[in-house]
Structure 1
Protein backbone atom coordinates (compact mmCIF):
# COMPACT_ATOMS: atom_id res chain seq x y z
CA UNK A 1 0.00 0.00 0.00
CA UNK A 2 1.42 3.35 -1.07
CA UNK A 3 1.16 5.75 1.89
CA UNK A 4 2.88 8.64 0.12
CA UNK A 5 5.12 11.32 1.62
CA UNK A 6 4.70 11.17 5.37
CA UNK A 7 6.41 13.23 8.06
CA UNK A 8 8.19 11.52 10.90
CA UNK A 9 6.02 11.18 14.00
CA UNK A 10 2.84 10.19 12.13
CA UNK A 11 1.03 7.11 13.44
CA UNK A 12 -0.88 4.43 11.57
CA UNK A 13 -3.19 1.77 12.93
CA UNK A 14 -3.42 -1.49 11.01
CA UNK A 15 -6.43 -3.73 11.69
CA UNK A 16 -5.91 -7.37 10.69
CA UNK A 17 -8.86 -9.77 10.32
CA UNK A 18 -8.61 -13.42 9.36
CA UNK A 19 -4.96 -14.26 9.94
CA UNK A 20 -1.74 -13.37 11.65
CA UNK A 21 0.60 -11.37 9.44
CA UNK A 22 3.93 -9.67 9.04
CA UNK A 23 3.37 -5.92 8.86
CA UNK A 24 6.19 -3.94 7.27
CA UNK A 25 6.45 -0.16 7.10
CA UNK A 26 9.16 0.64 4.53
CA UNK A 27 10.77 3.80 3.26
CA UNK A 28 10.97 4.22 -0.53
CA UNK A 29 14.51 2.78 -1.00
CA UNK A 30 13.77 -0.26 1.17
CA UNK A 31 10.50 -0.91 -0.64
CA UNK A 32 12.34 -0.91 -3.97
CA UNK A 33 14.91 -3.35 -2.54
CA UNK A 34 12.00 -5.56 -1.34
CA UNK A 35 10.52 -5.56 -4.87
CA UNK A 36 13.95 -6.35 -6.36
CA UNK A 37 14.53 -9.25 -3.94
CA UNK A 38 17.47 -7.47 -2.29
CA UNK A 39 18.13 -6.96 1.43
CA UNK A 40 15.84 -4.37 3.00
CA UNK A 41 14.90 -2.94 6.38
CA UNK A 42 11.44 -2.29 7.75
CA UNK A 43 9.61 -1.11 10.85
CA UNK A 44 7.04 -3.51 12.25
CA UNK A 45 7.13 -7.26 12.63
CA UNK A 46 4.97 -10.37 12.93
CA UNK A 47 1.66 -9.75 14.69
CA UNK A 48 -1.01 -12.09 15.97
CA UNK A 49 -2.85 -9.37 17.91
CA UNK A 50 -4.70 -6.53 16.21
CA UNK A 51 -4.75 -3.56 15.87
CA UNK A 52 -1.09 -2.81 15.22
CA UNK A 53 0.15 0.75 15.79
CA UNK A 54 3.19 1.92 13.84
CA UNK A 55 5.01 5.23 14.05
CA UNK A 56 6.74 6.70 11.00
CA UNK A 57 10.30 7.29 12.26
CA UNK A 58 11.39 10.04 9.84
CA UNK A 59 10.24 12.09 6.84
CA UNK A 60 10.21 10.03 3.63
CA UNK A 61 7.97 8.36 1.07
CA UNK A 62 6.44 5.29 2.77
CA UNK A 63 4.86 1.95 1.86
CA UNK A 64 3.03 -0.59 3.99
CA UNK A 65 3.31 -4.29 3.13
CA UNK A 66 1.18 -6.92 4.91
CA UNK A 67 2.15 -10.55 4.31
CA UNK A 68 -0.19 -13.27 5.57
CA UNK A 69 1.51 -16.20 3.76
CA UNK A 70 -1.32 -16.65 1.22
CA UNK A 71 -4.03 -16.83 3.87
CA UNK A 72 -7.16 -14.76 3.41
CA UNK A 73 -6.90 -11.56 5.37
CA UNK A 74 -8.69 -8.22 5.51
CA UNK A 75 -6.56 -5.19 6.26
CA UNK A 76 -7.76 -1.74 7.22
CA UNK A 77 -5.25 1.09 7.63
CA UNK A 78 -6.06 4.33 9.42
CA UNK A 79 -3.76 7.30 9.88
CA UNK A 80 -4.27 8.31 13.49
CA UNK A 81 -2.46 11.64 13.36
CA UNK A 82 0.52 13.31 11.72
Structure 2
Protein backbone atom coordinates (compact mmCIF):
# COMPACT_ATOMS: atom_id res chain seq x y z
CA UNK A 1 0.00 0.00 0.00
CA UNK A 2 1.67 3.22 -1.17
CA UNK A 3 1.28 6.13 1.18
CA UNK A 4 3.32 8.72 3.01
CA UNK A 5 3.12 8.71 6.76
CA UNK A 6 4.39 10.78 9.63
CA UNK A 7 4.81 9.19 13.05
CA UNK A 8 3.66 11.99 15.33
CA UNK A 9 4.36 9.96 18.45
CA UNK A 10 2.58 10.50 21.73
CA UNK A 11 0.43 13.61 21.37
CA UNK A 12 -1.97 15.32 23.79
CA UNK A 13 -5.56 15.86 22.77
CA UNK A 14 -6.14 19.35 21.41
CA UNK A 15 -2.78 19.56 19.63
CA UNK A 16 -3.13 20.96 16.10
CA UNK A 17 -1.16 20.10 12.99
CA UNK A 18 -0.97 21.96 9.71
CA UNK A 19 -0.48 19.90 6.54
CA UNK A 20 0.67 21.61 3.36
CA UNK A 21 0.11 19.67 0.13
CA UNK A 22 1.95 20.58 -3.09
CA UNK A 23 1.55 18.87 -6.44
CA UNK A 24 -1.66 16.91 -5.93
CA UNK A 25 -4.84 16.63 -3.95
CA UNK A 26 -4.73 13.86 -1.35
CA UNK A 27 -6.57 12.07 1.41
CA UNK A 28 -5.15 13.26 4.73
CA UNK A 29 -5.83 10.88 7.62
CA UNK A 30 -5.06 11.38 11.28
CA UNK A 31 -5.12 7.95 12.96
CA UNK A 32 -4.30 6.58 16.37
CA UNK A 33 -1.98 3.59 16.70
CA UNK A 34 -4.75 0.95 16.51
CA UNK A 35 -6.43 2.49 13.47
CA UNK A 36 -3.12 2.85 11.63
CA UNK A 37 -2.37 -0.83 12.24
CA UNK A 38 -5.83 -1.74 10.89
CA UNK A 39 -5.09 0.44 7.82
CA UNK A 40 -1.80 -1.40 7.24
CA UNK A 41 -3.51 -4.78 7.70
CA UNK A 42 -6.23 -3.89 5.18
CA UNK A 43 -8.94 -4.06 7.86
CA UNK A 44 -11.71 -1.52 8.45
CA UNK A 45 -10.39 1.64 10.08
CA UNK A 46 -11.51 5.10 11.10
CA UNK A 47 -9.67 8.38 10.79
CA UNK A 48 -9.98 12.13 11.24
CA UNK A 49 -9.54 14.21 8.11
CA UNK A 50 -10.67 13.60 4.56
CA UNK A 51 -9.90 14.31 0.91
CA UNK A 52 -8.44 17.76 0.36
CA UNK A 53 -7.82 19.65 -2.85
CA UNK A 54 -6.70 22.77 -1.02
CA UNK A 55 -3.87 23.57 1.32
CA UNK A 56 -3.04 24.06 4.11
CA UNK A 57 -5.19 21.63 6.07
CA UNK A 58 -5.48 21.90 9.84
CA UNK A 59 -6.29 18.83 11.94
CA UNK A 60 -6.79 18.64 15.69
CA UNK A 61 -5.88 15.56 17.71
CA UNK A 62 -9.11 14.55 19.47
CA UNK A 63 -7.62 12.77 22.51
CA UNK A 64 -4.30 11.82 24.11
CA UNK A 65 -2.57 8.93 22.38
CA UNK A 66 -0.01 7.76 19.86
CA UNK A 67 -0.79 9.25 16.44
CA UNK A 68 0.09 8.91 12.77
CA UNK A 69 -0.65 11.22 9.88
CA UNK A 70 -1.19 9.35 6.60
CA UNK A 71 -1.16 11.02 3.18
CA UNK A 72 -2.65 8.99 0.32
CA UNK A 73 -2.43 10.72 -3.07
CA UNK A 74 -3.56 7.66 -5.03
CA UNK A 75 -0.17 7.24 -6.69
CA UNK A 76 0.22 10.87 -7.69
CA UNK A 77 3.36 12.77 -6.74
CA UNK A 78 2.81 15.03 -3.78
CA UNK A 79 5.10 17.04 -1.54
CA UNK A 80 4.01 17.35 2.06
CA UNK A 81 5.03 19.61 4.90
CA UNK A 82 3.70 18.95 8.39
CA UNK A 83 4.06 21.33 11.30
CA UNK A 84 2.54 21.45 14.75
CA UNK A 85 0.68 24.69 15.37
CA UNK A 86 1.25 26.35 18.71
CA UNK A 87 -0.96 29.02 20.26
CA UNK A 88 0.81 32.11 21.58
TM-score normalized by the length of structure 1: 0.97
Counterpart of 2:3? none
Separation of aligned partners in 2, 1:42 and 1:69: 17
Deviation at 1:81, TM superposition (A): 2.4
For residue 10 of structure 1, the aligned residue among 7, 15, 40 is 15
Runs of 4 or more, structure 1, over 2 Å off, are: none
Counterpart of 1:46? 51
Unaligned runs of 5+ in 1: none
For residue 76 of structure 1, the aligned residue among 65, 81, 88 is 81
Unaligned runs of 5+ in 2: 1-5
Deviation at 1:57, TM superposition (A): 0.2
SS of match in other structure, 1:14:
strand
CA RMSD in angstroms comes to 0.9
Separation of aligned partners in 2, 1:76 and 1:60: 22
Q: May I ask how many residue pairs the two structures share in their alignment?
A: 82
SS of match in other structure, 1:71:
coil
Counterpart of 2:27? 22
TM-score normalized by the length of structure 2: 0.91
